[in-house]
Amino acid sequence: MNQSKATIEEVRKKGVRRTVTVFGAIAIGIFLLSLLQGLKYS
């Protein structure tokens, strides 16, 4: 609560970047996995 606006924004920016990277990678990974499943069972 005592953090300055700039500090809060910096922490938020770093966290947002990490979240987007992780979940973006998960989404792309699941897409590729589903195609692999198709290849494996067809």
Partner 1 sequence: MAHDATHDHHDDHHGAPSNFFVRWCMSTNHKDIGTLYLVFSLLMFFIGGSFAMVIRAELFKPGLQLVQPYFFNEMTTMHALVMIFGAVMPAFVGLGNWMIPLMIGAPDMALPRMNNLSFWILPFAFALLLSTLFLPGGGPAGGWTMYPPLSLQGDSVAYLVFAVHLMGISSIMGAINIIATILNMRAPGMDLLKMPVFVWSWLITAFLLIAVMPVLAGAVTMLLTDKYFGTSFFNAAGGGDPVLFQHIFWFFGHPEVYIMILPAFGLVSEIIPTFARKPIFGYKAMVFAIASIAFLSFIVWAHHMFAVGLPLGGEIFFMYATMLIAVPTGVKVFNWVSTMWGGSMTFETPMLFAIAFVILFTIGGFSGLMLALAPADFQYHDSYFVVAHFHYVLVTGAIFAIIAGTYYWLPKWTGHMYSEFWGKMHFWNSVVWVNVLFFPQHFLGLAGMPRRIPDYNVAFANFNMISSIGGFLFGASQLIFVGVIIHAVWFSKKKALDRVWEGAKGLEWTVPSPAPFHTFELPPVIHDEELAHGHVED
Under the rule (CB under 8 A), what is the footprint of partner 1? 1, 3, 5, 8, 11-12, 15-16, 19-20, 23-24, 26-28, 30-35, 37-39, 41-42
| Shortest spacing between CB 5 and partner 1, in angstroms | 6
| Shortest spacing between CB 4 and partner 1, in angstroms | 10
**Residue appearing with tokens 């699941």:** 30
- Rounded Cα–Cα distance for residues 5 and 9 (Å): 6
| Shortest spacing between CB 25 and partner 1, in angstroms | 10
Q: Is 2 helix (H, G, I), strand (E, B) or coil?
A: coil
- Rounded Cα–Cα distance for residues 28 and 32 (Å): 6
